[in-house]
Amino acid sequence: MTEQADAIIIGAGVIGAAVAFELNKLGYQTLSIDKNPASGYGSTSGSCAIIRVHYSTLEGTAFAYEGYFYWRDWADYLEVTDERGLAEFREIGCLVMRTKQNNLLNKHIALCEELSIPFEIWDAAKIKQHIPIYDMTSYWPAKRMNDEAFGEPGSGQVESSVFFPTAGYVTDPQLSTHNLQRAAEAKGGRFLFNKRVTEILQANGRMSGVRLDDGSAVHAPVVVNVGGPASAKINEMAGALGDMTISTRALRQEVVHVPSPGGFDFFNQAPVISDSDIACYVRPEHGNHILVGSEDPECDPKEWVDDEDYNREFTEQWTHQAYRYAQRVPSLEIPSRSRGVVDLYDVSDDWIPIYDKSMVPGYYMAIGSSGNQYKNAAIAGKMMAALIDYCEQGNDHDTAPLRFQLPYIKRSINAGFYSRKRPINKESSFSVLG
């Protein structure tokens, strides 16, 4: 028997599950299909799950600030209980170092003032008061350990930072996705795991469904690609690449886990920290550990990979990241055994996601979102559902883009900002910072 749905969603990561939830709230009966054994088991499970509000563009900043409120009010947003419990949002704030590289965050400050986002300026003394293990010496530009100048001071000190109180992280990104799955199911959504899409079906010039690896077919007039690092392959399968000026690729990433220096309770005393002077971001991890990620400096090679065939073991990149952070924390003890996460990002050409329709009627994309969009999952799902409904009612999003209202901050944005056909956005950081 052939299965039917109003919309098929390829991918059950955090954004895919949010799209399912929001579409069902609009009355669409969805079927989410994922090759993994459960929701959130792909790249979402490797996410650092940082919730922050600072971005390099007005639209990105507004989107992120709106997204914060869904995590703050997570139980109210879901409207459902989950037998596993609800994901925890630790609202511990985010501290961002002001450097010449980020123009002392002057643009970010202006965007926060325009959007009424709370922030504080901390001088070096206040940073040290909160994080006494820190050495505020400047080491910019970031270097690799084989550089003769590695560990040598740059120019002066990092003298100040911006603290954003409406920030933090979610302790279990996979659980948060399961919460969204249960919320979607409560509205009528269905999820199918351990199944791969092998063909995307079309009839009469538009989407008609998908074929699975067991030979069965599911029919629906709407198909949504939320396939994460596999997104480019899915777009090719759908024949949707022809008019795209922005492409996506899978990028391999390593995240370091190291213990906090003795005598300092990093877990309970430190915020999330972004430090472009050493090109690292960090956040607390349970067991008084520190999670260290890369902010993708020029010195680090980018390893573009096939999403099905890549090295899942740690490499020398782990060591480079750990020692870069040790410049800021001289007392950091780096263990001989590498611990952390190796996973993939789905990255667009300008590190800004594509939330859009496609050239194929009925085919939609929420892709290129890895690294900096976990925090926006709920609002991205809400906007994608609105965009799909807008287009399915006969509107042309390419010529008359959807104006989408951000409910919490009561501001509308042009959803065309995330178009597949946009020029590369030169305001982007071209990094995990978005």
Six token digits for residue 125: 């003394």
**Inside any domain, residue 21:** yes
**Inside any domain, residue 433:** no
Six token digits for residue 57: 């563009």
Pair 161, 285 in one domain = yes
**What is the Cα Rg of the chain in Å?**
21
Contact 345, 229 (CB under 8 A): yes
Q: How far is Cα 348 from Cα 242, in angstroms, rounded to an integer?
A: 16
Pair 260, 338 in one domain = yes
Single-letter amino acid, residue 3:
E
Pair 339, 392 in one domain = no
Pair 241, 361 in one domain = yes
For residue 425, CA distances in Å to 61, 154, 223, 421 come to 14, 30, 27, 11
Q: What is the pLDDT of residue 283?
A: 97
Pair 305, 367 in one domain = no
Where residue 285 sits, what CATH number does that domain have? 3.30.9.10
Phi and psi, residue 58, nearest 5°:
-65, -45
Q: How far is Cα 350 from Cα 361, in angstroms, rounded to an integer?
A: 25
Q: Taking the CB of residue 146, how many other CB atoms lie within 10 A of it?
A: 9
Pair 183, 55 in one domain = yes
Tens-digit pLDDT string for the chain (434 aa): 468 999 999 999 999 999 999 999 999 999 999 999 999 999 999 999 999 999 999 999 999 999 999 999 999 999 999 999 999 999 999 999 999 889 999 999 999 999 999 999 999 999 999 999 999 999 999 999 999 999 999 889 999 999 999 999 999 999 999 999 999 999 999 999 999 999 999 999 999 999 999 999 999 999 999 999 999 999 999 999 999 999 999 999 999 999 999 999 999 999 999 999 999 999 999 999 999 999 999 999 999 999 999 999 999 999 999 999 999 999 999 999 999 999 999 999 999 999 999 999 999 999 999 888 999 999 999 999 999 999 999 999 999 999 999 999 999 999 999 999 999 999 888 888 87
Please say which residue of 318, 345, 372 terminates a domain: 345
**Inside any domain, residue 294:** yes
Pair 291, 362 in one domain = no
Pair 113, 229 in one domain = no
Provide the domain limits for residue 136. 90-166+249-345
For residue 116, CA distances in Å to 50, 144, 166, 269, 293 come to 21, 38, 12, 26, 29
**Inside any domain, residue 102:** yes
**Inside any domain, residue 225:** yes
DSSP 167: -
Where residue 62 sits, what CATH number does that domain have? 3.50.50.60
Please say which residue of 306, 322, 345 terminates a domain: 345
**Inside any domain, residue 431:** no
Q: What is the pLDDT of residue 2?
A: 64
Q: What is the distance, to the nearest Å, from the Cα of residue 14 to the centroid of all Cα atoms in its chain?
A: 9
Single-letter amino acid, residue 348:
S
Number of domains in the chain: 2
Beta pairing, strands 222-225 & 7-10: parallel
Pair 285, 409 in one domain = no
Pair 318, 385 in one domain = no
Pair 195, 317 in one domain = no
For residue 370, CA distances in Å to 96, 276, 305, 374 come to 20, 19, 14, 7
Q: Taking the CB of residue 394, how many other CB atoms lie within 10 A of it?
A: 6
**Inside any domain, residue 426:** no
Six token digits for residue 413: 């944005």
Pair 155, 294 in one domain = yes
pTM: 0.97
Contact 190, 331 (CB under 8 A): no
Q: How far is Cα 73 from Cα 322, in angstroms, rounded to an integer?
A: 35
Contact 401, 378 (CB under 8 A): no
